[in-house]
Structure formats: C-alpha cells, structure tokens
Structure 1
Amino acid sequence: MGNFNHPDTCWRDNTAGHKQSRRFLECDDDNFVLQVIEEPMSRGAMLDLVLTNKEGLVGDVKLKGSLGYSDHEMVEFEILRAARRVHGKLTTLDFRRADFGLFRDLLGRIPRDKALEGRGAQDSWSAFKGHLFQAQERCIPTKRKSGRNTQRPAQMNKELLGKVKHKKEALLL
C-alpha cells in the first residue's frame, strides 16, 4: 500500500491518461495485482492505493479522513487470513476438450465493421471481449481442480515453473 500519485488513472475502467500511469496499469495487469480501494479520495482521484495479488486477502477498507493538512486520506483495512489452510476447489477451462473449430467460426461471424464502427479503442475492446467470452463459454468446457495446485494458475505446470525459477536466478546474478 502507499502513495502512488497516478491521479489520471481510472481504476474502474482500467485506463489512464499519461504514459507513466498506463505503464503502471500494465505492470499491475502483468503481475495479476488488484487495487482494492473503490472510492475516490483527494479531489476525486485515488492516489493512495492498497494493492494485493490475491482476491479476498484484503477487506473492510475504510477511508478515515485526512491526517492534519495533508491532501491524502488515511486508509484502514484488514488483512483477512484463514485460521488454517484449506485446499479449495477451482474451476478452470479444459482446453483439451475445447471445440476450436466452432470457436474460430463463432468469432469469424462477428460483424466487425458494424459492431466496432464509431467506437473508441476501449469500447471496441469491451464489445469484442463480450463476444469472445460468449464463444469461450460455448466452446470450452470447464473442469474442477482441487488440492494443493489450486493456488497456482492452471497453465503453470512444472516445466514452466522451472523456467521461471531459472530466469529469476539468472536475474539475481
């Protein structure tokens, strides 16, 4: 958590006006980081952020007013922790049973010229994303995943984890 000073960032739409703020958003997305404060603080901008890499880890976020004459607000929040580690069940996409022919056909049927005409980049992406998720739901079945491996993304297999570890070690040298 801290003072990040990106007043041009719209966290609700995940957009920003300046290059540096856009790079900050991209970095958050690349690292699967969530920003949990929902209401604006200083003059309608969110400058002080609480970031987490796990949904449900931070809760009960409250703005407590400014401290003295500062233009920033105090933020109070709880770090939620289970008393014991529970192995949960996770639903993931089962790409091995996917019908990619139908998926390609459904996405090919989208009338892109009419569907995206007169829209900006953000609106165009939102419209396309809706079609993409509909096709995904129809063509890619899901499966339940349980046990210890529910903590990591489904695509993170042992081979990929080994490569990431090797890359981190090389960077530290």
Structure 2
Amino acid sequence: MGDFNHPDICWRDKTAEHKQSRKFLECVDDNFLLQVIEEPTRRGAMLDLILTNKEGLVGDVKLKGSLGCSDHKMVEFRILRAARRACSKLTTLDFRRADFGLFRDLLGRIPWDKVLEGRGAQDSWLVFKGHLLQAQE
C-alpha cells in the first residue's frame, strides 16, 4: 500500500503514457502483483495503490475523506484470512510433475536469433517471457 505517483496509468487497460510508468506496470506484471483500488484517490487520479500477490487476500476496499490537510483520500481495507481457501483457484506449478524435456523441446523450436534480432534487452525479455509462459501451459 502506498502513494506511487503514476497519474498517467490506466489500471483498467494496464497502459501508461510515460516511460517510467510503463516500467512500473511491467514490474507489477513481472512480479505477478494485482492492484485492487478501483477509484481515484487524489484529484481524479489513482495514485494510492494496494498491491497484492494473491487474489482475494485484500477486500472491503473503501475510500474515505481526507485526513488533516492531505489532498489524498484515506484508503480503508481488510486483509482477509479466508484468502488461503480462495487461493485454491490460483494455479500453482507442480515442478515434480513437469516434463522438462518437452519444455526444453518447445523452447528449442523457436528460432531465437531471428525472433530477438534488432530488439533491445527489455523487448527481448518480454518476447522471451511470452514464449516461456506459452510453453508452460
């Protein structure tokens, strides 16, 4: 929870105008985090965020009036103990049952030289991550 100061991020579409905000979105995505606040917290912008790594862990999010001289709304929320039961919907990987030979074969079929040609490090990572997640399925 905190004030992240990225007013240009559209959390619904996961888009941003500024490079720094796009990097922040990528970081949130790369770490499998979910942002749960749905309303603006300061002058029409969603600056204050609650990030969680488990769906259903945070609930009853409410925005309240300002505290003292602050121009941000107060954020009230609950951490739900029942989230452990709700996590049964969350897919987790069982590495003991993984077919690493198939995984290696699927990734080995990709012509990496051609796929990554002319791309920078960040773009190459996103392409690789997409193929990795696809092979994981």
Smaller-chain TM-score bracket: 0.5 to 0.7
Alignment of 1:84-95 (within 5 A): 86=85, 90=89
Aligned-residue sequence identity (percent) comes to: 72
Q: Which has the larger radius of gyration?
A: 1
How is 1:1-173 mapped onto 2 (pairs within 5 angstroms)? 1-82=1-82, 86=85, 90=89, 153-154=92-93, 157-158=95-96
Matched with 2:113 is none
How far, CA to CA, are the matches of 1:19 and 1:28 in structure 2? 14
Residues 32 and 89 (structure 1), Cα distance of their counterparts in 2 relative to 1, 3 Å cut? closer
Shift of 1:73: 1.3
Q: Say which structure is richer in strand.
A: 1
Structure 1 length-normalised TM: 0.50
List gaps (5 residues or longer) in structure 2: 99-137
Q: Which amino acid aligns with 1:16?
A: A
**Is there any run of 5+ residues in structure 1 with no aligned partner, and where?**
91-150, 161-173
CA RMSD of aligned residues (A): 2.5
Per-residue CA deviation, residues 95-142 of structure 1 (Å, 9 max, x unaligned), is xxxxxxxxxxxxxxxxxxxxxxxxxxxxxxxxxxxxxxxxxxxxxxxx
TM-score by length of 2: 0.63
Kindly provide the amino acid, as one letter, of the partner of residue 72 in structure 1: H
Secondary structure of the residue aligned to 2:20 is helix
CA distance in 2, matches of 1:18, 1:69: 29
SS at match of 1:20: helix
Shift of 1:82: 2.6
Q: What is the number of equivalent residue pairs in this alignment?
A: 98
Kindly indicate whether the alpha-carbon contact (under 8 Å) linking 2:55 and 2:87 is maintained by their aligned counterparts in 1: no
1: CA distance, partners of 2:23 / 2:56: 25
Pair 1:88–1:77, CA change in 2 (3 A): closer
Partner of 2:109: none
User: How far 1:18 sits from its partner (Å)?
Assistant: 0.6
